[in-house]
Structure 1
Amino acid sequence: MEPTPAPFFADIAQGPAGGAAHWVRTSDGLRIRVGHWRSDATTKGTVLLFPGRTEYIEKYGPAAADLAERGYATLSVDWRGQGLADRMLPDRLLGHVEAFLDFQKDVEAAVRLAERLALPKPWYLLGHSMGGAIGLRAAINGLPVNACAFSAPMWGIQIPAALRPVARVLGALGPRFGLAKLRTPTTTVEAYVQASPFEDNTLTNDPDMYRMMQDQLAAQPDLSLGGPTVQWLTESMAECASLAANASPALPCVTFLGTNEQIVNTAAIHDRMARWPGGELVMVDTAQHEVMMEGPDIRREVFDRMVRLFDQYPG
């Protein structure tokens, strides 16, 4: 049976030709959306691009274009609770997950689709932010990739010192007092790019990329997602701690981190890469959280370096 087509907003994606999306079912019965870009020119393999929290397939159209120029197809995914995937709560703007390891069920469903679509092999992993945590767990579990890259991976969450005790208390008391599905304090009801102007944002220094993200959500409001729930925060913190206790997988790896990173815990990234045999941490000068969505010079630097690694492991 052919995979079921899903909506794909090529007009806002700014990606290469050949983009499409499909619905897939996870092992626990949720419907998620998986998208891909491939063409006759993408012959070196496929990059499994794991997005961050709040993100959606079309946001990575420009990244898919950068990868296609270098010979790679791209697969991306709307994780449960975001994009057009099934949302977890009646209030669709609340970012929620029951258990962080549930995202591995989404990974399994995406990999099954990639096999059914016969996306070019070998495969490579690219995980951004929350997708970096999901991707690291998947790699530890044996994700069939030849090498991996990470962009500002969420291997720890940047919580101001004054709020850390609050986060611990909320995590401990949330289930008992019905707080688990409430939005985490200090986060916004709207998506970040809708609630925050470009000036002083913590994502990118490039106004065109920031405007693209704003325009995408204005054109397709169903893709929007606001702040996370207390349970998402609790589950994420627990998964980061669990990952930190694991050895790095036996995969070639490069990780990119902006020198102006303000969202994820940079110490956790430095620690992980210091104990990743053969891994390399690339500090991207002046970049913020979205190193793949900075200006053209930085994007060129990042994708060239990433693909140099992938090219070394063709199978």
Structure 2
Amino acid sequence: MTEPAPFFAEVADAPDGACVAWLTAPDGVRLRAATWAGGARGTAILFPGRTEYIEKYGQVIGRLVERGLSVAVVDWRGQGLSDRLAANPMLGHVEDFRDYQRDVAALLGWEAVATLPRPFHLVCHSMGGCVGLRSMLERADFASAIFSAPMWHLRMRMATREITARATKFALMMGLGARLMPGASARPTPLVNGFEGNALTSDPEQFARSVRQITAHPDLSLGGPSMQWTRAALEEMARLYIAPVPRLPVLALVGSEETVVSTSVIRRQVAAMADGAFTTLAGARHELFMESPTVQTELWTRIDGFLTEVESSAPKRAAN
């Protein structure tokens, strides 16, 4: 039996009809999740990125609902209103990236999600794309996936990657895994850096919207990652790089101004997929769903075309 959970509708810009509840992951971690039912075309299973929360995706949920889709979304462990996993609640922390699959299991096992219409389409951003790729490989729940700037490889120099891997390994050996990564801030990135030069969005209104949300509700906000989170992320990305690629239809989108994740690795991974499509959105930075109106128009045009193609090929795929 699930219990209702809070949802800050006044800052979310989300459609009416949210069902928001506390879920319990298989290892006992309390998670916040939400659904928007009623769309008969299928269901978008939405996997946010690191530091993100359900309210941030209110406008995205609205776009999906407008397209006749039901929606389900989760606050990952360690962020949003789900249980924080470190003594410092502003520290982005997880022991192992495979723990996020427990959150996936809790979300998909929730009765409110299990009764939503099929097919299920994954819609993932950044870290959610790392979690989502693993889910696609290990679960049979999904008909397709849309990846926004998926975190399959971080954009950093080889030497920096090696130093980071060694430093985080040493930190773990010394019992310092729950310490903040050197150079990171315990404060939310938007509040630390401001709009000018930010890597997330070129749109000042979208940037201001996220600042308003975490200012109004600080419990939603999150700071930099822990040494353990960073180590776990590097290990999972390395495992996924050599794993079999999904056989389902995949659309991956990356901004031309992307500086957080590796565009070349995403392009290479998608090229190896039997049914993968890769698109670059001109002028966009990392958070494609939180970009300028011009980018948004192109983004949703691409998504519409992809979903239509998936739907038109579904009978043929089922027959095979």
- Report the TM-score, using the length of structure 1 for normalisation: 0.95
Q: Say if 1:80 and 1:87, in contact at 8 Å, map to a contact too.
A: yes
Amino acid at match of 1:243: L
Name the CA distance, whole Å, in 1 between partners of 2:239 and 2:162.
19
Q: 1:116 to 1:298 in 2, by over 3 A?
A: closer
Name the CA distance, whole Å, in 2 between partners of 1:286 and 1:273.
21
Partner of 1:15: 14
Amino acid at match of 1:250: R
Partner of 2:57: 60
Kindly indicate whether residue 117 of structure 2 is the aligned counterpart of residue 107 of structure 1: no
1:160-209 per-residue CA deviation (whole Å, 9 max, x = no partner) reads 45533331221221122122111111111111111121111100011110
Name the CA distance, whole Å, in 2 between partners of 1:109 and 1:21.
14
* 1:304, distance to aligned residue in structure 2 (A): 2.5
Name the CA distance, whole Å, in 2 between partners of 1:165 and 1:125.
32
3-state SS in 1 of match to 2:95: coil
Partner of 1:75: 72
Partner of 1:134: 131
Partner of 1:254: 251
Kindly indicate whether residue 179 of structure 2 is the aligned counterpart of residue 182 of structure 1: yes
Name the CA distance, whole Å, in 2 between partners of 1:77 and 1:173.
32
Spell out structure 1 runs of 4+ moving beyond 6 A. none
* 1:88, distance to aligned residue in structure 2 (A): 0.4
CA RMSD of aligned residues (A): 1.5
Name the CA distance, whole Å, in 1 between partners of 2:71 and 2:96.
27
Partner of 1:48: 45
Q: In the TM superposition, what are the counterparts of 1:84-233 in structure 2 within 5 Å? A: 84-113=81-110, 118-161=115-158, 163-233=160-230
Kindly indicate whether residue 279 of structure 2 is the aligned counterpart of residue 282 of structure 1: yes
- Report the TM-score, using the length of structure 2 for normalisation: 0.94
1:77-125 per-residue CA deviation (whole Å, 9 max, x = no partner) reads 1000000000001100000101110000000000011555622222100
Q: Select which of 267, 270, 273 maps to 2:270.
A: 273
Name the CA distance, whole Å, in 2 between partners of 1:138 and 1:234.
20
Partner of 2:25: 26
Q: 1:114 to 1:303 in 2, by over 3 A?
A: farther
1:50-88 per-residue CA deviation (whole Å, 9 max, x = no partner) reads 000000011000101111121112211100000000000
Amino acid at match of 1:246: A
Name the CA distance, whole Å, in 1 between partners of 2:165 and 2:90.
24
1:258-315 per-residue CA deviation (whole Å, 9 max, x = no partner) reads 0100111222211101101121001001100011111122112212321322233346
Q: Say if 1:44 and 1:71, in contact at 8 Å, map to a contact too.
A: yes
Name the CA distance, whole Å, in 2 between partners of 1:26 and 1:46.
21
Partner of 2:261: 264
1:186-241 per-residue CA deviation (whole Å, 9 max, x = no partner) reads 11111111112111110001111000000000011001100001111111001001
Q: Select which of 224, 232, 237 maps to 1:235.
A: 232
Kindly indicate whether residue 292 of structure 2 is the aligned counterpart of residue 306 of structure 1: no
The count of residues paired between Structure 1 and Structure 2 equals 312
- State which drifts further: 273-282 or 68-77: 68-77
Q: Say if 1:37 and 1:75, in contact at 8 Å, map to a contact too.
A: yes
Name the CA distance, whole Å, in 2 between partners of 1:141 and 1:162.
32
3-state SS in 2 of match to 1:313: helix
3-state SS in 2 of match to 1:111: helix
Name the CA distance, whole Å, in 2 between partners of 1:85 and 1:49.
16
Name the CA distance, whole Å, in 2 between partners of 1:247 and 1:175.
29
* 1:129, distance to aligned residue in structure 2 (A): 0.3
* 1:43, distance to aligned residue in structure 2 (A): 2.0
Name the CA distance, whole Å, in 1 between partners of 2:244 and 2:267.
14
Q: Say if 2:42 and 2:68, in contact at 8 Å, map to a contact too.
A: yes
Name the CA distance, whole Å, in 1 between partners of 2:11 and 2:66.
19
* 1:143, distance to aligned residue in structure 2 (A): 4.1
3-state SS in 2 of match to 1:312: helix
- State which drifts further: 53-62 or 266-275: 266-275
Name the CA distance, whole Å, in 2 between partners of 1:87 and 1:287.
31
Amino acid at match of 1:299: Q
Amino acid at match of 1:97: V
Identity %: 38
Name the CA distance, whole Å, in 1 between partners of 2:45 and 2:214.
23
* 1:5, distance to aligned residue in structure 2 (A): 0.9
